[in-house]
Structure 1
Amino acid sequence: MLTPAAQRRSGRPDQNGDGRVFARLWAATASANLGDGLVLALVPLLAVQLTASSGLVAGAKLAHTLPWAVTPLLVGLLVDSMDRRHLIVFCNLVRAAVLAALTTALLLGAAALFVLCFLYVAAFCLAVGEAVADIATTALVPSVVPRHRLEWANSWIRGTESVLNEFVGLPLGGLLIAVGPVWAAGGAGGLYLAAAGAMLMLRGRFRPAGPPPGADAAGKGRHLLTGGLRILWRNRPLRTLTLMSTVMAGCWSAWLAVLVVYTVQGPVGLSPTGYGLLLTALGSGAVLGAALAPRLARALGIRWILAADVVAGVVMLGTPGVSADVAAIACATFLGGVGSGLWNVEVVSLRQRLVPHGQLGRIGGAVRCLGWGGMPLGAALAAGLAELAGPRAVFALAAVLTALTLIPLLRILDAPALDAPAREGPGQPARRP
C-alpha cells in the first residue's frame, strides 16, 4: 500500500482518510475566507472614505468583481498546469503583500487620490487571488480525501466559506474599518499569511498527473484557453448542470437587483437594517443546506437533492411577487438558501467524481465563467423589466425560468448518471457518462 505522501504525489487520495491532511486544507481555506470577508467590507467602505463620487466608489466594486468574469478560464489552465498547493500558497502571499502595501500607504498618510487608485489595483489583484485559491482548492480536495467522503469535505468547506464570508468577515470588517481602515487591511493580510502557512504544512506534491494542458497539441494552442469549455461541453451531465446554474444565477441576480427596491422603498417597508437581516436568512439557509447535504444525498440521491434546490429557488424567487408579508419573504429566502447550500455541495462533489484530476482546474474555471456570466445579464434584464412592469414582474419571470430548469434535470439527467458515481466505493474510477 502506498503511504499517504506517495498517494498524494500520484494524485490519489488516502483511502483511509487522513483527517490531518484535510484539517490543514480546511484551516487554510477558513483563514483565507475570513480574509475575503474583511476585504468585502474594506473595498467599498474605504472607497467611501476616500471620495464622495458615487461613480468612483462603484468603480472600486467593479475592480473587485471584474476578475471573476474575465479570468476563470486562465485560472483553470494554471490550476491544471502547476502544483495546486504551491499555487494557493503563492496567491495568498501575493494577497498579503498587496494588503501590506495598502496598509503602508494608509499609515504614511498618502494622498486620497493615490490611495484610491491603489485601491483599484489592490481590489483587482485580491479578486484574482481569490479566484485562484477557490478554483485550486476545489481541484485539490479529491487528492486529500477518498471518493466516498467528498460530500463531507465539501460540506465543511462550503459551510465555512458561508459563515466566515457573510456572518463573521463582513461585520468584523465593518467594525475594524470604524476603528481604522489600517486594522482591516492589516488583519486581512495577516489572515492570508496564516492561510499560506497552513498550506505549507500540507506535505506532498499536488501537481496533476499526466502531461500539462496543451502538451499533446503543439502548434494548436488556439484551443488551449478554451479547453475547459470544450471538455465541459462533451460531458453531458456537467454541461446540463452548468447551463442550469447559468440560468439560475441570472435569475438570482435579477431577484437581488430589485429586492432592495421592493422591500425597502416598496410595499414591504423594511429599514436598511431589516434588509440586511433578510439577506442573513439567505446565508443561514446556505450553511444549513451545506451541513445537511451528505446525509440527504445518501438518503434521497443526488438528482432529488438538486430538484429540491430548484423548487426551493422557485419558492424564494416567486414569493415576493405574490406577497408583501415580510415573514413569508424571509421564510422563502431561508428556504432558497438551504437549497443553494445543497446544490453547491452536491454539484461540486459530482464534478470531482466525474472529471479526472488533471482537468478539474479547467472545468472549474469554465463553470465559474459561465455561471458568473449569467449574473450581469440577469441584473441588466431585471433593471429594464422593473422599469416597464415593476419588481413583481421580475420576481415572476425569475421563478418561471428557474422552474423550467426542472425539465432538463428530470428528463435529460437520469438517475444513474448522477447517482452511480456516489455509490462507487473508494479507489474505484469514476464512470464517465
Structure 2
Amino acid sequence: MTSDTTTDRAAEPSKSGPSLWRDRAFLQLWAAQTVSQFGAQLATVAVPVLAIVVLGASEFEVGLLNAATTAAFLVVGLPAGAWIDRMRKRRVMIAADLVRALALATIPLLWALDRLEMWHAYLVALVIGTATVFFDVSYQSVIPVLVRRTRIGEANAKLEATAQVARIGGPAIGGGLLAIVSAPFMIAATAVTYLVSFLFLLGIRDDETPRERTPGVGLVGEIREGLSFVWHHRLIRRITLNTALANLFGTISMTLMSLLVLRELGLTPAVLGLVLSIGSVGGLLGAVATPWITRLVGEGTVIPLSTVLFGLSACLVPLSAALPAVAVPLLIVAEFGFSFSVLVYNIAQVSFRQRVTPHHLLGRMNASIRFVVWGVMPLSALLAGALAEVIGVVPTMWVGAICQLLAGAVVVFSPFLGMRTLPEADEES
C-alpha cells in the first residue's frame, strides 16, 4: 500500500486556507520559477541565433537541435514518473536545476576556447532535456503537496502569470542584448538563472514523505498504473490526445519560426525577440483572465474554445510570409493569440488534472501525459527540418498550422463543450 502523509494541508476541500501570499514554501517556489523562466526566455532567442548565425546550421540541423531538446520525454518520460513518485519532488527539482546550469555553462566555455561545434549543442540539449523531464514532472506534482486543493488553480494562475511576464521581458531584452553581446554569453546568463532557482528551492521546507514502494509491483507495473489512470479517465484521455496533436503540429511552426524570421523574412534577432515579447503579453492576460473566462463560459467549455483560438493563431504565422509589408504585426498578433489561448487552456486542464488525481499517482499521471504530449515533439521537429529542406519553410509551416486547427476537433466534439463544472475525483470514479 502507499503512504501519503504529504496531503494533510490539501485534505480540507471545504476550507480555502491562508492566502498564498503568506505561504512561504509557495512563495519560494514562485520566486525560483520566475527567475529560471526569465533565463529560459533569454535562451529562446540565444539558442536559435547560436545555431543559425554563429554555427551556420541548416534547416535539418535546426530541426535536429529542437528534437534533441525534447527527445528525453520520449525516452525516459515514463520511468521518470514512477521514480519521481518514490522521491521527494523538491529534491528532484534541485538536482535538475544544478544539472541544467552546469550543462549550459559548457557552451560559452567551448565557444571561448574556439571549440564549439553543432554536436556540442546537440549533446547539451539532450542533457538539459533529460533534466527538464525530471524537473517538469516534479514541478507539476509538487504543487498539490505545497498548497491546499482549493488553492491549486490560484497557484497555477500565479505561476503562469509570472512565467508570462518573463516571456514578455526575456525575449525583448535578449534580442536587444544580442546587438551588444554574443549568443554564448546569453546562454551563460541562463545558466546563472538556474543556479538562482536552485538556491531558492534549497530554502523550501515541505512535509512530503516519499511513497513507499508497493510490494510485488515493479517499475513496469507502476508505469502501467499511471498509464491506466490516464487512459481510463474519459476527460483526461481527451485532454492528452488533444494536447499531443496540438504539440505534434504546433512544433513544426515552433521549430521553423526562427528560420522564417531570420532567413525567409530577413529580419534581425532583435525583431524576433520583440515579436516573442509583445506576443507574450497575451499569455499574461490569459493567465490573469482565466478565472473570469472560466466563470463566464464554464470549466469544460473553456478547453475547446481555447483550442480553436490557438489553432487559428497558428495560421497567421505562415500567412506573414505572403504579406511581408505587415509581416511583423501579423506575427505579433499570432503570438499574442497563441500565448493567450495556450495559457487559458493549460491553467484549466492542468488544474483539473491535479485536482482529480490521487496524490500517490501524481508523478506517474504527469509523466504519462508528458510522455505522450512531449514525446511527439522531437519527432515533429525532425519532420519539420526534413520537410522544410524538401518543400520549403513556409509550405511546411502551412501544413503544420492547418493540421493543428483541424486537430482541435478532439475536444470541440466532446463532453467538454457546454460543461459548466468539471467533475471531481469521486464523481469521475
Shorter-normalised TM range: 0.7 to 0.9
Are positions 1:74 and 2:79 aligned together?
A: yes
Aligned partners of 2:6 and 2:209 also within 8 Å? no
Q: Any residues of structure 2 matched to 1:316-335 within 5 Å, and which?
A: 316-319=313-316, 324=323, 326=327, 327=329, 330-335=332-337
User: What residue in structure 1 maps to residue 428 of structure 2?
Assistant: 432
Question: Which residue in 1 is equivalent to 2:146?
Answer: 144
Worse-matched range after superposition: 347-356 or 253-262: 253-262
TM-superposed CA distance for 1:140, in Å, is: 0.9
Give the CA deviation at 1:408.
4.1
Aligned partners of 2:426 and 2:190: how far apart in 1? 39
Contact 1:31 1:191 in 2 (8 A): yes
The answer on whether the counterparts of 2:171 and 2:276 sit within 8 Å (CA) in structure 1 is no
Letter of the 1:81 counterpart: R
Whole-Å separation in 2 of the counterparts to 1:385 and 1:104: 32
Confirm or deny: 8 A CA contact 1:321 1:393 kept in the other structure.
no
Q: Deviation digits for residues 287-343 of structure 1, max 9, x if unmatched?
A: 221221122223321122112212212422345569846456643542232111100
1:32-47 equivalence runs, <5 A? 32-41=36-45, 43-45=47-49
The whole-number CA distance in structure 2 between the counterparts of 1:105 and 1:394 is 33
Is the contact between residue 28 and residue 196 of structure 1 (CA under 8 Å) also seen in structure 2?
Answer: yes
TM-score by length of 1: 0.77
Of 29, 37, 56, which residue of structure 2 is paired with 1:25? 29
- The answer as to whether partners of 1:251 and 1:398 remain within 8 angstroms in 2 is yes
Shift, 1:190, TM fit:
3.2
Q: 182-191 or 197-206, which moves further after superposition?
A: 182-191
Helix, strand or coil for the counterpart of 1:302?
coil
Closer, same or farther in 2 for the Cα pair 1:58/1:405, shift >3 Å?
A: closer
Question: Residue 63 of structure 2 contacts residue 384 of structure 2 at CA under 8 Å; is this kept in 1?
Answer: no
Q: Tell me if 1:96 matches 2:104.
A: no
Indicate the residue corresponding to 1:425 in structure 2. Answer: none
Q: Which residue of 2 is the match for residue 249 of structure 1?
A: 247
Match of 2:342 in 1: 340
Q: Which residue of 2 aligns with 1:134?
A: 136
Deviation, structure 1 residue 151: 2.1
Q: Assess if the C-alpha contact under 8 Å between 2:299 and 2:420 holds in 1.
A: no
Deviates further, 20-29 or 174-183: 174-183
Change in 2 beyond 3 A, CA 1:87/1:221: closer
Cross-structure match for 1:3: none
2:408 to 393, 405, 416: 405
Per-residue Cα deviation, 1:152-193 (whole angstroms, up to 9, x for no partner): 211121232333256316743873795467754553343223
Q: TM-score, normalised by structure 2?
A: 0.78
Q: Does the 8 Å CA contact 1:96/1:192 hold for their aligned counterparts?
A: yes
SS at match of 1:420: coil
Alignment of 1:101-180 (within 5 A): 110=113, 112=115, 119-165=121-167, 167-168=169-170, 171-172=173-174, 175=177, 178-179=180-181
Mapped to 2, the partners of 1:194 and 1:186 lie a distance apart of 13
List runs of 5+ in structure 2 lacking aligned partners: none
Contact 2:62 2:255 in 1 (8 A): no
Letter in 2 for 1:149: R
Corresponding letter in the other structure for 2:156: N
Shift of 1:385: 9.5
Q: CA deviation at 1:242?
A: 0.7
One of 296, 300, 305 as aligned partner of 1:299:
296
Q: 1:362 to 1:306 in 2, by over 3 A?
A: same
The size of the alignment, in residue pairs, is 412
RMSD: 4.1
Q: Which runs of 5+ in 1 are unaligned?
A: 1-5, 422-428
> Is 1:201 equivalent to 2:203 in the alignment?
yes
Q: Distance in 2 between the 1:290 and 1:348 partners?
A: 13
1:13/1:142 contact within 8 Å kept: no
Q: Does 1:420 align with 2:423?
A: yes
- Does the CA-based 8 Å contact 1:37-1:170 persist in structure 2? no
CA distance in 2, matches of 1:256, 1:93: 27
Q: CA–CA distance in 1 between the matches of 2:262 and 2:54?
A: 27
After alignment, is 393-402 or 361-370 more displaced? 393-402
Q: CA 1:67–1:166 in structure 2 vs 1: closer, same or farther (change >3 Å)?
A: farther
CA–CA separation in structure 2 for the residues paired with 1:50 and 1:265: 14
How far, CA to CA, are the matches of 2:260 and 2:122 in structure 1? 31
Give the AA of the match of 1:146. Answer: R
The range that moved more, 390-399 or 190-199, is 390-399
Aligned partner of 1:271 among 242, 267, 271: 267
For the residues of structure 2 that align with 1:390 and 1:52, how far apart are their CA atoms? 16
